[in-house]
Structure 1
Amino acid sequence: MTKFNLKNIFSDIKFWIILFGILRLYGITNPPIEVAHNWRQTTVCMAARNFYTTDPNIFYPRVDIAGEKSGITGMEFPIFNYLIYVFSLVFGYDHWYGRLINLLISSIGVFFFYKLLLKYFEKKIAFNAAIILLASFWFAYSRKIMPDTFASSLVIISLYYGTNYLEGRNPISNLILYFIFGLFGVLSKLPVVYIWFLYSIWIFSGGNYLRKVIFIGASSVIAGITFFWYYIWVPYLVDEFGLWYFFMGKNLSQGFNESIKYLPEILNHFYETAIRYVGFSMLLFGLITSIIKKDKIIWITFLISLIFFSLIIFKSGKTFAFHSYYVLPFVPVMALVASYGMSQIKNSTLVKIILFAICIEGVLNQWNDFVIKPNEKEIIRLESSLDSISNQDDLIVINSGEYPTPMYFANRKGWVCDNSKLFDKNYISHLKNHGCKYIVILKKSFGSDIRLNYNVLIDNEYFKVYELK
């Protein structure tokens, strides 16, 4: 292969998207028990598995930690969960389909991110921004069984087609694709809606007035459907089926006060987590340079995004501070500004070194997320152990605190609680009255060992099962 051909390959963003995709195939079939947000992944899996085993109605998603109740509850519109269900119809249920689906859609999202930037910036800015995004916090989370990068990618794809429509390119098909991807993106994860406000750049600039009116009309339909799901249907499911599980945010006043209190933790997500230190230093350099050079498209894009993303932060408050993945929808904007900063460096060799450093720092700091600790893996045996003494429809309680992860791997329904609850006679009486038959005590992962005065059915190094009579 000639030097010219290699240069063409290395300068093609599709090569790097595929390469990063292959890297993330390592451990793709791992169960969702990596340390970072296994609880979030298993709730996604619960809904997907229940579509497959119980009821495929997408409007009634279910989780397994509602005790004797149906488990139906309000959550994000479960299109991501439903895709796992669709795969399961063909291949039989397995959790790792979610990893593969997210990786595929998120990789396509990076490609459209590149195509979007290519319309307004030099190729080197679009290329480097896409590479930074690949190595950013997205690296690990785009293969988790979570809808965050999935939804962000759908909205980025929507942004590409939406701007095409506003610019008069093949209007009908672009409007339809904008609507479809935008609708499912925002329904899948409400915070990604902040990206919509970037359309104000096109809406308030010159152009075809009728096209803008049609675009606003289509966007209003998306907003209306989204409002119905989150603010009418989700509360209805909660009221009707008695399980409040989905976090809908706080009032802005409370969230703002919490955000100020936990400001160091919130800022940490941006400079340490999102694109790491080298990438963040390039972001600061790019932002300062864009202001000095009066490059409005950069600093205005960043400012609009930051203002409206701040509303997401204030709505989340303390929850944002202690859930790092909440920053994921903002990472593409950070990658753009960091790439712009790199474009201001004239020494091409230095730029390559910086880009390499960003990639190494990003990937190595997340690689531990691809490895499951031996102690964590033992939770997978929970289902087969319980199958030896009980039926799958027997209700259980697990001492995993608020973590739903063990319940998912038990493939049972029931309750989760901390150890102290299991010494509460009233709580135990409540469990018995509502059909609980077994108590599972986790000894290492997700719980700690305690002694209870009940008949022991299973006792090994990692968990113990009592019969509740």
Structure 2
Amino acid sequence: MNLSFLATRTVPRWFWPVLLGLNFLVHLPFFGLPPKGAHSWRQCNTMAVARNLYEEGMNPLRPRVDRRGASDGVTGMQFPAYEWAVAAGYQVLGFHESIPRVVNWLIFAAGLAAFCALARLLSGSAWAAAVGTWALAWSPELFYHSINALPDVLALAASIGGLYYFLRWYQAEDAQPGSYALALVLTTLAGLTKLQYLAIGAPIAVLILRDLWLRRLPWGRLPALGVFGAVAVGVPLAWYARAVRLIKASGLADFGLELRPADSLSTALRILRENLTSDLPELLVGFPGFVLLLLGLVALVRGGYVRRFWFLPLLAWAAVLLAYHLIELSQMDVHQYYMLPYLPLLMLTVTLGAARLQRQKRGALWLALLLGLQPVAAAIRVIPSRWGGGPREIPAELYYPESRAALETAVPNDALCLVGPDISGCKYFYFLHKKGFGFGAPEDLWNAKPDGSTLLDSAVRHGARYLYTNDSTALGNARVRPYLGREIKQVGEFRVLELRR
């Protein structure tokens, strides 16, 4: 069976136009959507920070959130490189909700190119690299987040690029300062954006330690390696230490920077079971890719890969990611994008499965079928449930442009507002384009705080002028009514009222 591309060890010229063109076209109808679907709260938080950079100053050292009380909103978070890039797009083109999606897709495309280069360096096969890149592009989880306002895609792309350029520099006989500089910048950026992506340091460390043990590492490389480690690890750690201090000083904890293991053994086992039986086959690699992944694991066991040059470095990478998975296990329950760091290793294993399948009788035909099904599986899994239909995880009044505009323009955007009930603390603020005080449940308005005051009283005393709510029980509460002035506007279930001082 001779299926052109699949039967050769080269990559035809049409590969990249077809891959990127098809991926772009499938995403095209959804670039203009506001945040919606799974993890829309994270998208709203990210886009709010980007909008605040655009409106309140482009200093990335002072990221601001909307739920800020009467403060300036500056708090700690991951380094807002992605948010800054989106804000720069706003500066050039004006505010459009398609800009964060387009920016992320371009980063995603760059990440595909970086992975293809890395896979080719590791495997020595352009064909294997292309197969792995195709599989990566159609990972359902990455397919979804590749056009979402999510900094994890930048961290993933930067980490892959950082590892590729480091290995290129490390293996070169000449100095290659350009590769070294790119490796340092990209690895540092990956760690600044999301600390877990510094897991690429594991294969780097194994390579260096092995070469030191075998006495084949030139002593002249040690200073450059020392600088690389100090900067790539030290700068992100310093940033996150500062971020934690900012969170404590501001009291604005929109971005959690703590470790979150499972709270019990039974919970841990349940999450791990769901990760293995649902998240891995359905979201991370997709069902067609999962077949190739299983074949790749068989190839790992039977193919003598334990003795290969790259086995120990990649095993160390996997071990560090496993440790990360366990210490963040509570997050892995519903936050599947926390597993995006696993994709490079998973797709490298997929390439082994593809190579094994192709060698079988009619294997090229089956491989072509599985690869062809990957875009279909990704689209079926993601589009209807996350982008299809109307609002998802967002109130209809905030989702549709007419009602959203009516609510946003009801009061000035610079007026402090009390907004809720919104358990996320960011969705309502983002769609309403407002800042101020948020409440997650109606009773939060009147329940006494440790100092005896209530959120409602405190918000009014600190300058909140308007209340946005879609909960009628809050408005009917006897402890709330004395603070309510005239009703300014009602749109659907949402009402906007003045607050009495």
State if a TM-score over 0.5 links the two structures.
Answer: yes
Q: 1:89 aligns with which of 81, 88, 91?
A: 91
For 2:151 and 2:204, locate their aligned partners in 1 and report how far apart those are by CA, in whole Å: 23
Q: CA deviation at 1:351?
A: 0.8
Q: CA deviation at 1:315?
A: 2.6
Q: 1:259 touches 1:321 (CA, 8 Å); kept in 2?
A: no
253 and 321 in structure 1: CA distance in 2 versus 1, 3 angstrom threshold: closer
Cross-structure match for 1:142: 146
- TM-score normalised by the chain length of structure 2: 0.84
For 1:270 and 1:140, locate their aligned partners in 2 and report how far apart those are by CA, in whole Å: 15
Q: Secondary structure at the match of 2:30?
A: coil
AA matched with 2:121: K
- 5 Å-filtered alignment, 1:118-157, equals 118-121=120-123, 122-136=125-139, 137-157=141-161
255 and 175 in structure 1: CA distance in 2 versus 1, 3 angstrom threshold: farther
Cross-structure match for 2:16: 13
In the alignment, structure 1 residue 237 sits paired with structure 2 residue 254: no
Q: CA deviation at 1:415?
A: 2.4
Q: 2:74 touches 2:250 (CA, 8 Å); kept in 1?
A: yes
Cross-structure match for 1:191: 196
301 and 339 in structure 1: CA distance in 2 versus 1, 3 angstrom threshold: farther
For 2:378 and 2:311, locate their aligned partners in 1 and report how far apart those are by CA, in whole Å: 24
Q: Aligned residues, how many?
A: 460
Q: CA deviation at 1:116?
A: 1.4
Cross-structure match for 2:444: 421
170 and 96 in structure 1: CA distance in 2 versus 1, 3 angstrom threshold: farther
For 1:256 and 1:71, locate their aligned partners in 2 and report how far apart those are by CA, in whole Å: 38
Of stretches 353-362 and 14-23 in structure 1, the one that deviates more from structure 2 is 14-23
For 1:128 and 1:392, locate their aligned partners in 2 and report how far apart those are by CA, in whole Å: 51
- 5 Å-filtered alignment, 1:320-335, equals 320-335=332-347
Q: Secondary structure at the match of 2:73?
A: coil
Q: Secondary structure at the match of 1:459?
A: strand
120 and 424 in structure 1: CA distance in 2 versus 1, 3 angstrom threshold: closer
For 1:245 and 1:264, locate their aligned partners in 2 and report how far apart those are by CA, in whole Å: 29
For 1:238 and 1:199, locate their aligned partners in 2 and report how far apart those are by CA, in whole Å: 33
Q: 1:442 touches 1:449 (CA, 8 Å); kept in 2?
A: no
Q: 2:63 aligns with which of 58, 61, 64?
A: 61
In the alignment, structure 1 residue 247 sits paired with structure 2 residue 256: yes
In the alignment, structure 1 residue 277 sits paired with structure 2 residue 305: no
Q: 1:149 touches 1:329 (CA, 8 Å); kept in 2?
A: no
Deviation sequence 1:56-93 (CA, Å, 0-9, x none)? 22111000012212211100001111111212222223
AA matched with 2:455: Y
245 and 385 in structure 1: CA distance in 2 versus 1, 3 angstrom threshold: closer
386 and 97 in structure 1: CA distance in 2 versus 1, 3 angstrom threshold: closer
Q: 1:99 touches 1:144 (CA, 8 Å); kept in 2?
A: yes
In the alignment, structure 1 residue 227 sits paired with structure 2 residue 232: no
Q: 2:162 touches 2:187 (CA, 8 Å); kept in 1?
A: yes
Q: CA deviation at 1:305?
A: 2.7
9 and 364 in structure 1: CA distance in 2 versus 1, 3 angstrom threshold: farther
Q: CA deviation at 1:146?
A: 0.7
461 and 384 in structure 1: CA distance in 2 versus 1, 3 angstrom threshold: closer
In the alignment, structure 1 residue 400 sits paired with structure 2 residue 422: yes
In the alignment, structure 1 residue 370 sits paired with structure 2 residue 387: yes
Q: CA deviation at 1:196?
A: 2.3
Deviation sequence 1:277-299 (CA, Å, 0-9, x none)? 33223212211221211113576
Q: 1:105 touches 1:153 (CA, 8 Å); kept in 2?
A: yes
For 1:85 and 1:39, locate their aligned partners in 2 and report how far apart those are by CA, in whole Å: 19
Radius of gyration: which is bigger?
A: 2
AA matched with 1:217: V
For 2:389 and 2:498, locate their aligned partners in 1 and report how far apart those are by CA, in whole Å: 30
Q: Secondary structure at the match of 2:489?
A: strand
Q: 2:202 touches 2:313 (CA, 8 Å); kept in 1?
A: no
Cross-structure match for 1:317: 329
Percent of residue pairs bearing the same amino acid type? 21
Q: Secondary structure at the match of 2:29?
A: coil
For 2:444 and 2:397, locate their aligned partners in 1 and report how far apart those are by CA, in whole Å: 24
Cross-structure match for 1:387: 409
In the alignment, structure 1 residue 438 sits paired with structure 2 residue 466: yes
Q: Secondary structure at the match of 1:186?
A: helix
Q: 1:181 aligns with which of 183, 186, 189?
A: 186
175 and 456 in structure 1: CA distance in 2 versus 1, 3 angstrom threshold: same
Q: 2:488 touches 2:498 (CA, 8 Å); kept in 1?
A: yes
Q: Secondary structure at the match of 2:455?
A: helix
- TM-score normalised by the chain length of structure 1: 0.90
For 1:255 and 1:326, locate their aligned partners in 2 and report how far apart those are by CA, in whole Å: 20
Deviation sequence 1:140-198 (CA, Å, 0-9, x none)? 11111111111110111111111110011652111011111111121111111112212
Q: Secondary structure at the match of 1:458?
A: strand
Q: Secondary structure at the match of 1:366?
A: helix
Q: 1:255 touches 1:316 (CA, 8 Å); kept in 2?
A: no
Aligned-pair Cα RMSD in Å: 2.7
Alignment gaps of 5+ in structure 1: none
Of stretches 126-135 and 161-170 in structure 1, the one that deviates more from structure 2 is 161-170
AA matched with 1:333: L
Q: 1:255 touches 1:313 (CA, 8 Å); kept in 2?
A: no
Deviation sequence 1:7-46 (CA, Å, 0-9, x none)? 97575235312321332232212111x1111111111111
For 1:283 and 1:339, locate their aligned partners in 2 and report how far apart those are by CA, in whole Å: 8
106 and 331 in structure 1: CA distance in 2 versus 1, 3 angstrom threshold: same
In the alignment, structure 1 residue 359 sits paired with structure 2 residue 375: yes
Q: 2:397 touches 2:492 (CA, 8 Å); kept in 1?
A: no
Cross-structure match for 1:27: 30
302 and 26 in structure 1: CA distance in 2 versus 1, 3 angstrom threshold: farther
